[in-house]
Structure 1
């Protein structure tokens, strides 16, 4: 029996991991998060744990001595990180240090989530070895957390991802697809950028990628994302077409019309060869992802 502890278990990826592991009799899950448990009932156990508290992290991880810790907790709102750099650093860097210290004591394998934003977007899509050049406080914090892990003596993996979409069971979180769908259903005109490129990632695929890393105890950096390189405008049009909504309400714009505190990389996207070869990772297409979302919405 493998014991897996998940941080940020109330978030989108955290919930998908808890659900994924519910189907695996060989894995015992300890879900942790700030505040009350927001997951559906299951065979896992839940502990409140604030990862910014060194004491709590040490206490909970030493209590459970997990084989694997998957750190999905982070401050990911890019503009909020820019405006509140201290909070960003506490959650994205200091907390990772606490996890490293605790995993050292229990000899746990730590899987840490990182981001495409560590790259400047000048020559994407990227492979794992490409040189980072962060453009924002959020990106700097995630790169710093990667450096901490690489300098530590613990067994670890870094799973970089981007633009994760999906739904949590209580529908408390939105994403680009839900926003487009709801706006068009309300006949709202929306402006969507056409000069940024990403490989959007279905949350279930990201959970699957993390589980493959955990199962293989595969050390190193892995790019885990979707396979289609798209602009947000492409995604919006595909969403409109898939749900039979009026795509003439979608206005194509460039990013310069939005005033955002944090700078975004223009073109990222990931090359997935390493994850395919070493983990057997294969994501769905964006259209298949929309179909999965549609079926989940029908049961929500």
Structure 2
């Protein structure tokens, strides 16, 4: 039996991981660590209500569980909030990763950590795992620092970099681009979307599967996880409208410069997936194909 502790188990990825891993209960023993009550709608795994920003609590709990793997899905991901609250951002995105690395070394745990395309400046796009980071925002910087914590440690680690994660789980605390666009258009509301930022969005079920593959293969190092076609955010919104048969004319393109956002965003990211294809034997699809899969689940 493989013991897996998931930090941030109430989040979009956390709940998706619980769903996926519990399909093989004879293989995985799942522990969810999150703040407040269990929001997954399931009671067939071990849930621990915990404030992971308290070092002693976190380490004591993990020492009790003694997991083989930790999947760290907990993070502060609101880019402007990170810019405005750097201390809180550092605590969640860097310091906790340091604590997880320390307990992982002590107990010989393999740590799987989620990172982001925002570690790059967006000047070239189609980033490989080996490309040189240059974050534009404090959020991007914090995630880069968390990667460096792991790379400088002596533990077994996997870093999965991802982009614009979307999906739906039992109890959502936060929206994502697909649900937001679908809701606004369903209500007949006009929306403005940037047409000069380019991304390869990630279906949360793919990200969860990549975590599971990383466990099964004991994969180590950095891997890119995203869909395989670069689209402008405007094109992403258009494809959402088409898939859900909503009115595309309600979507109006605007440029990033008109947004007045606190933190700068990279213009063009997207990932090269060659290493993921070869080493994880994982072949992500296009956003359009993933959207159809998502729609089939929703309908």
For this structure pair, what is the TM-score category when the shorter chain's length is used for normalisation?
Answer: over 0.9
In structure 2, how many angstroms separate the alpha carbons of the residues matched to 1:288 and 1:170?
25
Taking structure 1 as the reference length, what is the TM-score of the superposition? 0.97
8 Å CA contact 2:41, 2:171 repeated in 1: no
Q: Which runs of 4+ in 1 moved over 6 A?
A: none
Taking structure 2 as the reference length, what is the TM-score of the superposition? 0.97
SS of the residue 1:139 aligns to: helix
Number of residue-to-residue matches in the alignment: 298
In structure 2, how many angstroms separate the alpha carbons of the residues matched to 1:80 and 1:245?
31
In structure 2, how many angstroms separate the alpha carbons of the residues matched to 1:17 and 1:225?
16
What is the Cα deviation at residue 51 of structure 1? Answer: 2.2
Q: How do 1:271-282 and structure 2 match up within 5 A?
A: 271-282=272-283
In structure 1, how many angstroms separate the alpha carbons of the residues matched to 2:285 and 2:39?
27
Structure 1: segments with no counterpart, 5+ residues: none
2:222 aligned partner: 221
Q: How do 1:155-170 and structure 2 match up within 5 A?
A: 155-170=156-171
Structure 2: segments with no counterpart, 5+ residues: none
SS of the residue 1:147 aligns to: helix
In structure 2, how many angstroms separate the alpha carbons of the residues matched to 1:230 and 1:20?
28
Q: How do 1:132-171 and structure 2 match up within 5 A?
A: 132-171=133-172
In structure 2, how many angstroms separate the alpha carbons of the residues matched to 1:273 and 1:295?
28
Q: How do 1:124-135 and structure 2 match up within 5 A?
A: 124-135=125-136
CA offsets per residue over residues 20-53 of structure 1, 9 Å max, x none?
0011121111111111110121431111232221
8 Å CA contact 1:22, 1:42 repeated in 2: no
1:5 aligned partner: 5
2:199 aligned partner: 198
In structure 2, how many angstroms separate the alpha carbons of the residues matched to 1:236 and 1:291?
14
What is the Cα deviation at residue 137 of structure 1? Answer: 0.7
**RMSD of the TM alignment (CA)?**
1.1
1:21 aligned partner: 21
Are 2:120 and 1:123 equivalent residues in the alignment? no
8 Å CA contact 1:13, 1:203 repeated in 2: yes
CA offsets per residue over residues 66-108 of structure 1, 9 Å max, x none?
0100000000000000000000001001111111111112100
What is the Cα deviation at residue 171 of structure 1? Answer: 4.2
Q: How do 1:1-300 and structure 2 match up within 5 A?
A: 1-24=1-24, 25-298=26-299
In structure 2, how many angstroms separate the alpha carbons of the residues matched to 1:198 and 1:69?
28
Higher mean C-alpha deviation, range 53-62 or range 35-44: 35-44
8 Å CA contact 1:205, 1:284 repeated in 2: no
SS of the residue 1:57 aligns to: helix
